[in-house]
Chain A
Amino acid sequence: MNADELSRIANRLRLDVVETVHDAGDGHPGPCMSIADIMSVLFFEEMKIDPANPKWAERDRFVLSKGHACPILYAALARKGYFPMEELKGLRSLGSFLQGHPDMKKTPGVDTVSGSLGNGVAIGTGMALGCRMQNIDNYVYVIVGDGEEEEGIIWEAAMAAAKFNLGRLIVFADCNNHQSGGRVTELSSLYPVEDKWNAFHWHVQTIDGHDITAIQNAIAEAKKVTDKPSLIACKTTKGKGIPYMEDNNAWHKRVPTDEEVEIAREALKDKM
């Protein structure tokens, strides 16, 4: 698929998120927008998955470590055909299989529980090891937020994955420089984050996380490295694509009004 088509899908997912959070009356829209382009490349081009067979043993695995961004995961799964689009309205409601954070036992296409921050790299490490031990020819993709890299277990897992030479583990770091309580650069000394992953013996790239071609190229580059796990630091904007949300942390968790939904539709209508 060409970059323009994938970019349009990313924007379609962005609007899905706005509508889903609006309809459900709850959820985290801002953190979805910064990863929309990565999600589009992964789910609509890169990943070897089969919506008709969500538990296919040979499939690629996906871990949304920053699980609060699950509205966009659910939108991607629905648009891929894992379940009907109208199910998105049920987000966070009793009776829906769309939990407030991802749940592998309730939602088709979800490969793990996630959302308690910091755990996705370790779980992805276990998945990559398990697949390698069973000679499954696949990749494990993880998306972590930048704020959650403040968690110690991220670095425990970084050590382990490097020790095990997990070349099939590819982690995207969504570097939007926001976390729940403010700027990552104000709350921690995480940055420059690439230095840290380098020090843990990962293959590290830095890209514009909204540049579809750059995302595609970075994945291709990561796949060439077979003896090291890969970290792709994606420079992103929280709320990207929705004018009133861009780089505005008030949208970390907030429900758009009817009017705000209309503004989002207007902003994206020619880009989907």
Chain B
Amino acid sequence: MTTKSTREAAMLAIQELAREDDKIVIVSPDAVAAARATKFREEFPDRVIEVGIAEQDAVDIAAGLATTGMKPVVVSYAGFLTMRACEMIRTFVAYPGLNVKFIGLNGGMLGGEREGVTHQFYEDVGILRSMPGVKIICPADAQQAYLAAKAFMEVEGPAYLRLGSGREPEVFPEGTPFEYGKIREVKSYGDDVAIFATGFIMNRAIEALEQLHNEGVNGVLIDVSTVKPMDSAGVAAVLRRTNCAVAVEDHNFYGGMSSAICEVACHFHPSKIRRLGLRDVYPRSGKAAELLDAYGLSVQDIVDAAKDAMVKE
């Protein structure tokens, strides 16, 4: 499977939009290189606001810019934004509903795999999901990241785009659409079980769907690319078909997509749902594939969880 950078793809989309809209600026706490925004800076040197290694400052400056009608995009590592600058996002951007966009890099264990826990972030979605008014988008691969970045710039108000390491597998065929706020059926063999997946764990979810099919279990794979607002009607419709599901994410299993799916299920269609994510632990440094396998996110883990979800109790 080939890999392509979600970081480059998203930034290309923003650079294209910036040609049409001179209000778009990048605010960087020394993250231009990390966010692959060097080409943006070459084309628009006056529209990259480099504040130095100071995420809280970056978010507040973006808030100030937005009050004047500018459209700032703050780029940094997911945790430095959502944890170090958490209050600034909440109080000075989300509360007044300012039009500030956030791109969080190294989302998930896979994002900063070899860097270790200081640079792996699996709490970002949970943190932001608890803030009223913040939209959260987790594209599955680079082509989706490109479309997601375009969509998120169109959404009014604060929004967060979760990206990874820049080495994400290309999982969807060319031309795969992206629709903000909607789940999407990736592939369906039947209604035995649903697999909900978000972000760049999607390659493993696809493999698990195929393996299940080969073993006689015919499931449906759903891409949950918008985690907030959650497409409750769409999720409920899937659960009405399958009555059971597995939800897979590269995030701590509190607060993220799988929590959101369960919240929908509780309300609309109580179902047996098995959740796969980090089991409330801090992982270690390691190679990406080894790390995911070691922490319960292997293809076999997904397959086993799907079968377990199907067992009537």
A: residues with CB less than 8 A from B are: 57, 61, 103-105, 111-113, 116, 119, 122-131, 133-134, 136, 152-153, 156-157, 159-160, 163-164
**A156→B57 contact, CB < 8 A:** yes
**A131→B56 contact, CB < 8 A:** no
Output the residue of A104, A116, A133, A163 with the most chain B CB within 10 A.
A133
Query: What are 29 A-to-B residue pairs whose CB atoms are below 8 Å?
Result: A57-B68, A57-B69, A61-B68, A105-B96, A105-B97, A112-B63, A112-B92, A113-B91, A116-B91, A119-B91, A124-B64, A126-B67, A126-B68, A127-B65, A127-B68, A129-B49, A129-B65, A131-B68, A133-B47, A152-B56, A153-B54, A153-B60, A156-B57, A157-B60, A159-B57, A160-B51, A160-B61, A163-B51, A163-B52
Interface SS of chain B: helix, strand, loop or mixed? helix
**B63→A123 contact, CB < 8 A:** yes
Tell me the count of chain B residues lying within 8 A, CB to CB, of chain A: 28
Which of B56, B87, B96 is A112 in contact with, Cβ under 8 Å?
A: B96
Q: How far apart sit A60 and B159, CA to CA, in the bound complex (Å)?
A: 28
- Name the residue on B nearest A105 (C-beta): B96
Known contacts: A119-B88, A160-B54. The answer to whether A133 contacts B70 by CB under 8 A is yes
- Name the residue on A nearest B51 (C-beta): A160
Output the residue of B25, B61, B64, B87 with the most chain A CB within 10 A.
B64
**A125→B61 contact, CB < 8 A:** yes
Query: Counting CB contacts under 8 A, is B62 at the interface?
Result: yes
Q: Lowest 5 CB-CB distances: which A-B pairs, in order? A: A126-B64, A130-B68, A122-B60, A156-B57, A126-B61
Instruction: Return A13 CB to nearest CB of chain B, in Å.
Output: 25
Which of B52, B60, B67, B88 is A111 in contact with, Cβ under 8 Å?
A: B67
Known contacts: A113-B95, A123-B63, A127-B68. The answer to whether A153 contacts B56 by CB under 8 A is yes
Known contacts: A113-B92, A156-B56, A159-B52. The answer to whether A127 contacts B67 by CB under 8 A is yes
**B64→A134 contact, CB < 8 A:** no
In the complex, given contacts A125-B61, A153-B60, what are 13 additional A-B residue pairs having Cβ atoms less than 8 angstroms apart? A61-B67, A103-B96, A112-B64, A112-B67, A112-B92, A116-B87, A122-B61, A124-B64, A130-B65, A130-B66, A130-B69, A156-B52, A159-B57
